[in-house]
Structure 1
Amino acid sequence: MKNFQVFDNDIDSTALEYYLQCGAIAVDTETMGLIPRRDRLCLVQICDASDCVSMVRIQRGITNAPHLKKLMEAPDVTKVFHFARFDVGMLKAYLQITTFPIFCTKIASKLARTYTDKHGLKDLIKELEQIELDKTSQSSDWGSVYELSDTQLQYAANDVRYLLPVRKKLIEMLEREERYELALASFNYLPILVNLDLLGYEDIFRH
């Protein structure tokens, strides 16, 4: 595997077999907006613990990615996201992928870092990795997948590059505070929550 690869619409078989050997991979998506079904999926980023980054450019109209689906649904590979609820929902809405098992660093941060209300990716990485992320490309146009700039690709890569070491530190904090089992239960509920989101339900637990 090369350290940085760009694919169109799906990873290839070599990348699939490589990532299937990983116990955990970091995953993120870039989209045209924040509303599933309206704002389409444009890019999927993957990174392993060796900093092997793969970018999958998703063209408009693509509705399946068999290799990506096999990886995202592989039971022995934990998929690590920041705000998994959104990314998992986009993968299901546009590629019919039911992602599992999941680790969400945003949920883990809220359960472990109760001394702060700053749980965004930039704040989390700054505290735990002492790295300042450049988020200037966050609200850029991701729709022209074949014309993405080097700045956009670098931004997208950085969104997955630090998730695995952050996950390790969050697990240590959760175990120390005896909240790790609660975190796992929360992650296990995410696929159900995603289904409710895609069906248009709001908070069904509200009175």
Structure 2
Amino acid sequence: MAIHFHEEDIPSADLFAPDAAIAVDTEAMGLMPGRDRLCLVQLSDGGGDEHLVRFGPGSDYAAPNLKALLGDPNRLKLYHFARFDVAIMRAYLGITAAPLYCTRTASRLVRTYTDRHGLKELVKELLGQDLSKQQQTSDWGAAEINDAQREYAASDVRYLHALKAKLDERLARENRVELAQACFDFLPARALLDLAGWAEVDLFAHS
């Protein structure tokens, strides 16, 4: 298992197993895609290695290899909080990284006995692993990404394939597979609504 660091793009999509689902996460300067700069994209095909792509200040976000990988309509993308990641990649990379599966959304559909749906809690309960979130609020726009930040970033995609397998079992058990898929299919539109200014508005509400 190794963490690979790349500047501005991946060398080739051939780094990843053909047709494998790709776990994806992002790090940014904050949580507002229209304001806060995309700094890092993390990737894993579930084979044991993680790839980190860093974008520096003034980047043009060209990244043709990364865009081809994430924009591939035949390759599933796995996220923990797809709504944010899809939105910020749309804002900076100009792509919609779908089709997708969101472990946080799946968790909310089947773990209705708790309101704790963070990645740390999910990995602990379903996989018995402890994640450190110490670097979550560190400066991802710094000139150097240190080893602790790299490990944190890599861990955010390391477990998504295993989580999907566990959550799929529960979705089937609770007869919510089709409902989950409908939610996943809607998430790119939800991300576009966020970018367009409707982040806090429920368009389906009566009032």
Task: Indicate the TM-score class for this superposition, using the shorter chain for normalisation.
Answer: over 0.9
- How much identity, in percent, do the aligned residues show? 50
In structure 2, what is the equivalent of residue 137 of structure 1? 135
Amino acid at match of 1:172: E
2:145 to 132, 143, 148: 148
Q: How does 1:76-115 map to 2 (within 5 A)?
A: 76-115=74-113
Q: CA deviation at 1:48?
A: 1.5
Q: CA deviation at 1:51?
A: 1.3
Q: Deviations over 1:7-53 (max 9, x none)?
A: 1111112xx02326142111100000001121110000001221121
User: Secondary structure at the residue paired with 1:56?
Assistant: strand
1:3 paired to 2:5: no
State the 4+ residue runs in structure 1 displaced beyond 4 angstroms: none
Q: Deviations over 1:112-145 (max 9, x none)?
A: 111111101110000011111100000000002x
Q: Deviations over 1:59-101 (max 9, x none)?
A: 1232332111111111221110011000110100011011111
User: Secondary structure at the residue paired with 2:41?
Assistant: strand
Matches of 2:30 and 2:17, distance apart in 1: 30
Amino acid at match of 2:153: A
Q: CA deviation at 1:174?
A: 0.2
In structure 2, what is the equivalent of residue 29 of structure 1? 26
Aligned residues: 203
1:57 paired to 2:38: no
Which stretch has the larger CA shift, 156-165 or 70-79?
70-79
Which stretch has the larger CA shift, 181-190 or 52-61?
52-61
Contact 1:103 1:187 in 2 (8 A): yes
User: Secondary structure at the residue paired with 1:39?
Assistant: coil
Contact 2:55 2:61 in 1 (8 A): no
Matches of 1:30 and 1:22, distance apart in 2: 25
Structure 1 residue ranges without an equivalent (≥5)? none
Contact 2:8 2:61 in 1 (8 A): no
Which stretch has the larger CA shift, 64-73 or 38-47?
64-73
Q: CA deviation at 1:196?
A: 0.8
Amino acid at match of 1:95: L
Matches of 1:25 and 1:113, distance apart in 2: 24
TM-score (norm 1): 0.94
User: Secondary structure at the residue paired with 1:194?
Assistant: helix
In structure 2, what is the equivalent of residue 124 of structure 1? 122
Q: CA deviation at 1:5?
A: 1.2
User: Secondary structure at the residue paired with 1:147?
Assistant: coil
TM-score (norm 2): 0.94
